[in-house]
Structure 1
Amino acid sequence: MKKHLHKICPPYIPFSYRQFLVLRKVYRQSRARLAEMVAKKLKPENIIPDGTGVWPSEGYWFIADNPAAINKCARWIDEDLSREAMRSVRNRMNELKKTLKSKRLSFCSPAGTFVPETYLESTQRRKDWENYWIIAHSGVKKGDQVLDIGGASTLFAFYLAGLGCQVNVIDNDWGNCATVYNTNYVAKKMKWNLTALDRDISKPLPFPDNHFDCVFSICVIEHLPSSIRRFMMKEVARVLKPGGMAGLTTDYDHQRKVLLTDKGLRFAYYDKLSEDIIKPSGLQIYGNTDFVDAFDPKENFLGAFFLMKNR
């Protein structure tokens, strides 16, 4: 057991906290199994159907130019990552990685855990794309009040803190690997203005109205049931300052089988994206309003989009 706990958590996490994570994992798994048993007998509620997908004409995703848009899918990932703004973010994030490693401070892998694994280059590039794209196009800057939903111990959250933002992270550490604890530990060692709170997103955000300049969520919303997505987006709008920006990414796996949620969100099912995310928030789409899904219907989708609160 000790060996296992050492493997999934950074070595500086107290043993007592690791024991707490083990107990919580057992509790969560028990609840999840019970919920799945119920879902097999009763159809899950409040899930908006995908609807009829809308894709460009046949062959478009193989030959189309990269659209000049900030609300877009990651189909043109190579071209996007070669852009100057993206390269600038990449270089600074790589320097951050070196700094953290030199201080023996941990950050999450693309899977959201500390377990060493070998990832396909394509997996890492997809994660890089969504991180760099949101940072490069959100206008976030030093001194901004920022909320990151679901980003405990991620390089994304650490980057924002290193930029000089005042960062709050909300995360429930679903992997039970001390991501929230590690965030606060790293913030203290790096002397960042960064605080992480272990809290379920189904609860109201513990912040006052009109508090944040930016709210970010990187590949989180597709893992939530529709009812919680809609509640979360209302809360995002509440805590955003007038003129504030929300930047979100989402993916969609056509093979995903999740009884209590669904396959995710993608631009081709725009009606669902609108009903689950945009309309409940009351926020306005920032930038282009044509959300083109240029991935093949059988490919895993990845996209980013921005919403703004009226001044």
Structure 2
Amino acid sequence: MTEKSSQERDYLPGMGKHYLMPFYDVLHRVSGLAAVHDDMVGLAGLRAGQRVLDVGCGTGNLLRAAGKRHRDVELTGVDPDLKMLARAEGKLRRAGLPARLDRGFAQELAFADDSFDAVFSSLMLHHLDGPSKGEMLAEVRRVLKPGGVLVLADIAHHGHVTEGIAAAGFTLEPTRTRKLRMFGEVGIEVAKVH
């Protein structure tokens, strides 16, 4: 696990408060979010040797789902919360899944252009303000290889999310939705670099 960021930023931790972090994985299990992650991994169409980035990886649940289904992909996660990353590191190690985990911010990804074949982001976008959402999507577009895919899930959202994704240079598929037990509906966006 490395610490990388050229500047510090404020961020909203998973579940909104640092002291709620111990309940993060419990909530993941009871909410039905594992099924959303399985959908996301399937929609990404991952193949052997591809490089995968999870922006706002939290405790590594989506990375673990991707790695268990595709043991031959290279996993990378970024999150601003060192405690979440420490938990992700332990969880991925116990699953026998090698992964690179970096402390970083969605608006400032410390990777070269065209570095990844697929980028995931799950229930993180709503934590960002309007300008930061645009910065994050531009950064994701920058680090994706030509033909790469962004698979993003977030609480049910309006057209401004899809408009922002399109404005960042992606071609969008129709939004898919899935109900969660506790949070209502989640929208899943699949967007490809054109």
Relative to structure 1, is the Cα distance of residues 186 and 119 closer, same or farther in structure 2, using a 3 angstrom cutoff? closer
| Map of 1:95 onto structure 2 | none
1:136 is matched with which residue: 24, 42, 57?
Answer: 42
The answer to whether structure 1 residue 124 and structure 2 residue 12 are counterparts is no
1:181 is matched with which residue: 86, 92, 100?
Answer: 86
The answer to whether structure 1 residue 308 and structure 2 residue 188 are counterparts is no
The answer to whether structure 1 residue 154 and structure 2 residue 90 are counterparts is no
In the alignment, the residues of structure 1 paired with residue 141 and residue 85 of structure 2 have an alpha-carbon distance, to the nearest angstrom, of: 24
2:164 is matched with which residue: 265, 276, 279?
Answer: 276
Relative to structure 1, is the Cα distance of residues 188 and 242 closer, same or farther in structure 2, using a 3 angstrom cutoff? same
The answer to whether structure 1 residue 201 and structure 2 residue 106 are counterparts is yes
In the alignment, the residues of structure 2 paired with residue 143 and residue 292 of structure 1 have an alpha-carbon distance, to the nearest angstrom, of: 27
Contact 1:215 1:246 (C-alpha < 8 Å) held by counterparts: yes
Contact 1:229 1:277 (C-alpha < 8 Å) held by counterparts: no
| Map of 2:148 onto structure 1 | 244
1:92-132 superposed Cα distances (whole Å, 9 cap, x missing partner): xxxxxxxxxxxxxxxx99x98333886598x522x133211
Contact 1:237 1:283 (C-alpha < 8 Å) held by counterparts: yes
In the alignment, the residues of structure 1 paired with residue 89 and residue 178 of structure 2 have an alpha-carbon distance, to the nearest angstrom, of: 39
1:200-257 superposed Cα distances (whole Å, 9 cap, x missing partner): 223x2111111101000011111110100100101111110111111000104xxxxx
Relative to structure 1, is the Cα distance of residues 117 and 145 closer, same or farther in structure 2, using a 3 angstrom cutoff? closer
SS of corresponding position for 1:228: helix
Matches within 5 A, 1:102-117: 113-115=21-23
Higher-helix-fraction structure: 1
Relative to structure 1, is the Cα distance of residues 172 and 276 closer, same or farther in structure 2, using a 3 angstrom cutoff? same
In the alignment, the residues of structure 2 paired with residue 193 and residue 277 of structure 1 have an alpha-carbon distance, to the nearest angstrom, of: 30
The percent of aligned pairs where both chains have the same amino acid is 19
Amino acid at match of 2:119: V
Number of residues of Structure 1 aligned to a counterpart in Structure 2: 176
The answer to whether structure 1 residue 229 and structure 2 residue 133 are counterparts is yes
Matches within 5 A, 1:48-67: none
Please give the root-mean-square deviation of Cα atoms over the aligned residues, in Å: 3.4
Contact 1:283 1:307 (C-alpha < 8 Å) held by counterparts: yes
Say which one has the larger Rg: 1
Relative to structure 1, is the Cα distance of residues 160 and 229 closer, same or farther in structure 2, using a 3 angstrom cutoff? same
Contact 2:36 2:178 (C-alpha < 8 Å) held by counterparts: no
Q: TM-score, normalised to structure 2's length?
A: 0.75
Amino acid at match of 1:115: F
1:18-53 superposed Cα distances (whole Å, 9 cap, x missing partner): xxxxxxxxxx9xx79xxxxxxxxxxxxxxxxxxxxx
Contact 1:218 1:249 (C-alpha < 8 Å) held by counterparts: yes
Deviation at 1:277, TM superposition (A): 2.9
Deviation at 1:185, TM superposition (A): 4.0
Instruction: Mark the runs of 5 or more structure 2 residues left unpaired by the alignment.
Output: 1-8
Deviation at 1:133, TM superposition (A): 1.1
Q: TM-score, normalised to structure 1's length?
A: 0.49
Higher-strand-fraction structure: 2
Contact 1:167 1:193 (C-alpha < 8 Å) held by counterparts: yes
